[in-house]
Amino acid sequence: MTERREAPETGARPTVDAEICVIVPTIREWECVRDYVANARDHGFETDRLHFVLVTEGFCDTDAMREMLTGLGVSGRVFDGAARDAWFTDHGLSAYDHLIPAASHAQTSFGLLYLWAEGYELGLFIDDDTRPHDDVDFFGRHMANLGYEGELPAYASDEQWVNVLGQNVDDHGLYPRGYPYSAMDETTTESTVDVDRGAVVASQGLWTNVPDLDAVRILMDGDLQGQAETRTTADDYGEDFLAARGNYLTVCSMNLAFRREVVPAFYQFPMDDNPWAVGRFDDIWSGLLLKRAVDLLDRRIYNGRPLCRHDKAPRSTFGDLTNEVSGLELNEHVWEVIDDAEPETIPEDTTAAYRAVTSAVADALADGSFEDWENGEFLNYCGEYLRDWLDCLAALDGEEPRPVAARDAAAPATDD
């Protein structure tokens, strides 16, 4: 673990025991942190192990956020747009501040950069419209999942896709946001896999109450308020599970723990703030990249518990549809591009191995020809951003990135 610098503007003084960087993108319900801290204390999980990073905007009450962290007695930082810009400047990384899109959930990528720079070994994404279940040790379960050793069921399908809501799909018929329409009505098979200790690098907790659906599926479910008429409960989930190698799944960042090693292959794709107005697939596409990496590197993504309660606020379903429609066709195909990407070699060094996979995917996207798909040029744009992501991490590690001129020459033209 690299030496961690003490960060200013903390809620409470950081401790040497802090090992888990908890990243919360928020503009509305930052008080969710209170519930997660209370859950930790109720279950005997030491809050000194947690360091909260709230990624927010300048129009929010950042002083109230800091006061909340102080009052809770936990360490943390609050980063609005100005604070993020200052962070990039302070680290000599201003050439990479475009990696964090404005007014987008994809700003969670900033939390990954912070984690990387500060040397945290573990990260955890929490969305602000979620709450932990009182009877579950939320943090403890995620940590146990990351250290899991033993047997787990692994699902595969004839479409190369696994529905994370599939254990009760015959009753509710739900497919999550990001699941390709062309992969529905799949035939699923189950096997048993032995998981070695250390192989699990991400723990995806699923959700009760409001399911994470895209706008088209919400409309089909008869809801105009952006939620869904059909709700999920703990009874909709069976055993925790894996997606078999060569099979993809939706990875939602609302309830997700991960090891530091995955960061080079976990960039949250640059949604919303782009010339094509593609949005809502940041964590979905990052999950595709991560799944390709873990398959090639003999790692695993653990899925199931701890569940969280998803209390999505009412909003226009048509508004979500507007944000999603520009990328719907691309979402049907981007996983195939990623699945075909193959690094020439996979280095023994873990960081270099993840970088090699990400570099292969970046090249496949940046150099590919996708004009047959609506907004296909956006995939070229994403490839260039992935290259910049690797360059930014290399710069944080004191390595020499590609020349800026080379990046600028390769970047797609915009109307900015």
pLDDT over 80 at 2, yes or no? no
Structural domain of 210: 20-410
User: Does residue 6 belong to any structural domain of this protein?
Assistant: no
Q: What is the number of structural domains in the chain? A: 1
Strand partners, 23: 53, 125
Strand partners, 248: 161
Give the pLDDT score at 400.
77
pLDDT over 80 at 163, yes or no? yes
User: Does residue 285 belong to any structural domain of this protein?
Assistant: yes
pLDDT over 70 at 333, yes or no? yes
The string of pLDDT tens digits covering residues 247-286 is 999 999 999 999 999 999 999 999 999 999 999 999 999 9
Confidence of residue 364 (pLDDT cuts 50, 70, 90): very high
Average pLDDT over residues 27-53: 97
C-alpha 271/C-alpha 281 separation (Å) is 7
C-alpha 314/C-alpha 219 separation (Å) is 14
Give the pLDDT score at 399.
86
User: Does residue 7 belong to any structural domain of this protein?
Assistant: no
User: Does residue 63 belong to any structural domain of this protein?
Assistant: yes
Please report which helix (H) or strand (E) contains residue 5, including its range.
Answer: none
Query: Are the CB atoms for 52 and 31 separated by under 8 Å?
Result: no
Query: Are the CB atoms for 252 and 176 separated by under 8 Å?
Result: yes
C-alpha 111/C-alpha 178 separation (Å) is 22
User: Does residue 64 belong to any structural domain of this protein?
Assistant: yes
Task: Render 373-409 in DSSP notation, one character per residue.
Answer: STTTHHHHHHHHHHHHHHHHHHHHTT-----HHHHHH
User: Does residue 294 belong to any structural domain of this protein?
Assistant: yes
Which strand ranges, in their side-by-side order, compose the sheet holding 188-195? 188-195, 150-157, 242-243
200, exposed or middle or buried, with CB in 10 Å at 0-12, 13-18, 19+?
Answer: buried
C-alpha 287/C-alpha 242 separation (Å) is 14
- Please tell me the pTM assigned to this model: 0.93
Instruction: For residue 196, give the CATH number of its domain.
Output: 3.90.550.10
Confidence of residue 222 (pLDDT cuts 50, 70, 90): confident
196's tokens: 């070695």
Task: Render 121-163 in DSSP notation, one character per residue.
Answer: SEEEEE-TTEEE-TTS-HHHHHHHHHT--EEEEEEEETTSEE-
User: Does residue 280 belong to any structural domain of this protein?
Assistant: yes
User: Does residue 359 belong to any structural domain of this protein?
Assistant: yes
